[in-house]
Amino acid sequence: MRRRTKFHINPKHVLIAGVILCVGFLGISFRFGEQLAPVRSAVGAVFTPMQKGINIVGTFLSDKLDNFRDINDLLDENKDLKDQINVLTYENKMLLQDKYELDRLRDLYVLDQKYQDYPKVAARVIAKPGNWYSVFTIDKGTKDGLAKDMNVLAGNGLVGIITECYYNYSIVRSIVDDKSYVSAMFLKTADTCFVQGDLQLMDQGKIRVISISKDAEIEDGHEVVTSNISPNFLEGILIGYVSDIELDASNMTKTAYLTPAVDFEHLEEVLIITELKEPQMKEPPKESDSGAETPATETPATETPATETDSGAAVGAESGTDTETGTNIE
């Protein structure tokens, strides 16, 4: 059986043949230009439209390719811009948080300067049971020099008092808590009263003021501060501003509402006055002689208002309750 002979065409030979043909055609075209004019016209008539169509298609494809490249460039640029927006948004949030924290610290500084005669420690609120900061936990305790019955400040005035103090945290009862009674007075007239916590009223942003003398010359907007007869609260700390003053049904006393000087819905940092109020009534020193008679001592007055018929809270000295702390008097 005979093998088929394979023919291999050298590309160089093809190239050379093509060049020779082109040169030949050019020579013929120059030599017989007039005779080939009809042929040239016929060929031009056939291929010119084809060339135009090819050019149109080529231009269209080139434009589409350029558009595609532009779209890819725009998508890349859009992605870069989105990344930049995300970074700027995050940085803006951080700046707003820093500004918010700076504003809070500035407010604490102003409050600290307002009561600069008292030594204070700053603390952060770390827990609360409900919407209002009626009772809450702070991150400072006995290791930081705190103790029970120390006064707590924030915003523009009084927040409450420490009722329980542990090694590294403390429990604070605020003046809006239902168990809170604070002996207070009107700064302008020095008339005394009691500020009574009321969580239901706090939904309206107010708490009660009771046991106001019927003759007290007070008006809406007057400041209410802690009084000098308070057993646990230091004197002169702003509590809030009075409003809606009314004469009780007994015509013996007045009641009113009070707008606290502190935002009890948004508490984050507080100041604690590390100075306890000294007891106003102390037992005299005991005689060294065994036969000496020890004089009787009076029980210190508590921050318990007289019987309040309108409020329904019959709280008296006989009840044996310290209403600032909610603990029974021994």
Residues 61 and 33 reside in one and the same domain: yes
Structure tokens at 311: 């409020």
**Which residues lie closer than 8 Å to 321 by C-beta, 6 or more apart?**
302, 304, 315, 327, 328, 329
125 and 187 in a common domain: yes
Residue 62, domain member (yes or no): yes
Assess whether 40 and 183 both reside in one domain: no
Whether residues 164 and 262 fall in one domain? yes
Judge whether 86 lies within some domain.
Answer: yes
Beta strands in the chain (DSSP E): 120-127, 135-138, 151-154, 157-165, 170-174, 181-186, 192-196, 207-213, 223-226, 238-247, 253-260, 269-273, 321-322, 327-328
Q: Which of 98, 114, 130 marks a domain boundary?
A: 114
Which residues span the domain enclosing 232? 120-279+302-328
Contact 187, 223 (CB under 8 A): yes
Position 44 scores a pLDDT of: 64
Q: Is residue 68 part of a domain?
A: yes
288 part of a folded domain:
no
Instruction: Let me know if residue 286 belongs to a domain.
Output: no
Q: Which residues pair with 152 in a beta bridge?
A: 160, 272
Q: Which of 93, 114, 135 is the last residue of a domain?
A: 114
Asked whether residue 79 falls in the same domain as residue 220, the answer is: no
DSSP three-state, residue 229: coil
Average pLDDT of adjacent 10-residue blocks, the chain of 330 residues = 62 76 71 64 66 76 80 85 87 77 76 89 89 88 96 94 96 94 94 93 92 93 94 94 92 94 91 87 56 41 44 37 40
Are 224 and 253 a contacting pair, CB within 8 Å? no
Q: How far apart are CA 161 and CA 312, in angstroms?
A: 25
Instruction: Tell me, yes or no, whether 21 and 102 share the same domain.
Output: yes
Indicate whether 54 and 136 sit together in one domain: no
**What pLDDT does 112 receive?**
85
**69 with 128, same domain?**
no
Residues 169 and 231 in one domain: yes
In a domain, 158, yes or no: yes
pLDDT in the model for residue 295: 42
Number of domains in the chain: 2
Which residues does residue 173 pair with via DSSP β-bridges, in sequence order? Answer: 135, 161
Residues 250/261, Cβ–Cβ less than 8 Å: no
8 Å CB contact between 161 and 230:
no
Report yes or no on 316 lying in a domain: yes
Domain-terminating residue out of 114, 148, 171: 114
pLDDT of residue 235: 93
Q: What is the DSSP string of 1-21?
A: -PPPPPP---HHHHHHHHHHH
Query: What residue type is assigned to position 312 of the chain?
Result: G
- Same domain as 314, residue 196: yes
Same domain, 198 and 52: no
- Asked if the structure places residue 256 within a domain, the reply is yes
How far is it, in rounded angstroms, from Cα 201 to Cα 148? 27
Cβ atoms 231, 301 nearer than 8 A: yes
- 306 sits in the region (left: phi over 0; alpha: psi -120 to 50; else beta) called beta
Q: Are residues 79 and 95 in the same domain?
A: yes
User: Which CATH number is 321's domain given?
Assistant: 2.40.10.350
